[in-house]
Amino acid sequence: MTQTERTVRDLERQEAEEKRRREVARLEMGWVIQASRAIEGHPVLHRGNCSLGARHGVSELLDMEGVLGAAEEYPDLEMCDVCAPWGSLGITKPTDRPARPAEVEFP
């Protein structure tokens, strides 16, 4: 393998790693909503990088405006206890049950 081939391969690896890091950062900055899986259930808000949200086929990444719209559209929206999206939203979780966006004031 020539020096040129090694350089090209190294640059391709660096580019792939940078793309992966950008995707990780994008997911960490967003939120997703998991539809209720039960008739009496409620939709659940997850951070974009939550493995629970990803496991259930959630794909649309929301920004803060999207989360606010979802809170209005789904007054029974719950928040995932695993990924704790309330922290990234700048709100505190009520201690007696999962935080519901309709019950908390967004900054």
For 77-105, the pLDDT digits (tens) are: 888 888 888 877 877 774 555 555 555 55
With 0-12 / 13-18 / 19 or more C-beta atoms within 10 angstroms meaning exposed / middle / buried, residue 28 is: exposed
Of residues 76 and 56, more confidence is placed in: 76
| Per-residue model confidence (pLDDT) at position 56 | 62
Using the predicted structure, report yes or no on whether residue 55 has a pLDDT greater than 80. Answer: no
Quick: pLDDT tens for 18-45.
998 888 777 778 889 888 877 778 888 9
Whether this model's pTM surpasses 0.85: no
| Per-residue model confidence (pLDDT) at position 25 | 78
Instruction: Give CA–CA dist 31/15, Å, rounded.
Output: 26
How confident is residue 10, by pLDDT bands cut at 50, 70 and 90?
Answer: very high
Instruction: Give CA–CA dist 20/4, Å, rounded.
Output: 24
Among 24, 44, 25, which residue's Cα sits nearest to residue 33? 44
| Per-residue model confidence (pLDDT) at position 2 | 93
